[in-house]
Amino acid sequence: MSSVPILSAVPVAALVPRHVAIIMDGNGRWAKKRFLPRFAGHKAGVEAVRKVTRAARAMGIEALTLYAFSSENWRRPAEEVSDLMGLLRHFIRSDIDELARENVRLRVIGDYHSFSADLVAMVDDAIARTASNTGPILAIALNYGAQAELVIAARRLAERAARGELDPATIDSDAIEAELDTRDLPPLDLMIRTSGEQRLSNFLLWQAAYAELLFVDTLWPDFDAAALGDAIAAFGTRQRRYGGL
């Protein structure tokens, strides 16, 4: 799969995807190009999150899922992990009021309970504050890995079958999807990865089965409302056959 040329156009409402996921890549390279520490890139990346989430709401996207911290990110230097956790705390403190006011439902996918107790409490509170909202969904992937998600789903189904609550012969794709972290989100329509890399990096592997994939060279801190609009316009040119003609 090669990078797709981006079209400069205003997306047609009827062609706006219901669910968009973004692999936010390139913070470190953005900082390196400017002779700045990696933390500066991550901080700029948080600003990009604000711009893109606001643009997604304005465009009518029902669900936006952002890959914020993968289960593999624990392998990074401890100082960088600490910086990322600090930015997450700052984002929750500074943005939860806006999300609540704008009728956004905050969701988290992944095992964020592995974080420190104070951060888990902050995330739980933010989710609770927006739980009754009826507007678009902002899903943040924290300590998320798609392979682990599938393993957990399979284990739950196996445990139910072992207890006699489920006939293994009845397990189908719907049964698996019902056990995934994204079970209450719309089907994934479009996955975007920034920075020019062309891989899924263990993100939404099941959900991306029929999603349109778009790889752009823009580094995440430079990805903004206009870039999202171009991506949606490109999505509108795709013919989605789902295996048919």
Residues annotated in a binding site for substrate: 26-30, 38, 42, 70-72, 74, 76, 193, 199-201
- Tokens coding 55: 């643009």
- Tokens coding 31: 């900082």
CA distance 96 to 126: 6
Residue 19 φ then ψ, to 5°: -130, 120
Residue 193 φ then ψ, to 5°: -125, 130
CA distance 109 to 78: 23
Which residue bears the tokens 């909202």? 133
CB 68 within 8 A of CB 88: yes
CA distance 135 to 140: 16
Is 125 assigned a catalytic role?
no
Is 230 assigned a catalytic role?
no
If phi > 0 it is left, if psi is from -120 to 50 it is alpha, else beta; for residue 203 that is beta
Residue 107 φ then ψ, to 5°: -125, 150
Question: Which residues lie closer than 8 Å to 241 by C-beta, 6 or more apart?
Answer: none
Distances (CA, A) of 76 to 48, 84, 149, 229, 235: 22, 10, 21, 32, 33
Q: Which residues are part of a known binding site for Mg(2+)?
A: 25, 212
Q: Which of 73, 133, 202, 224 is catalytic?
A: 73
Q: Which residues are part of a known binding site?
A: 25-30, 38, 42, 70-72, 74, 76, 193, 199-201, 212
Catalytically active residues are 25, 73
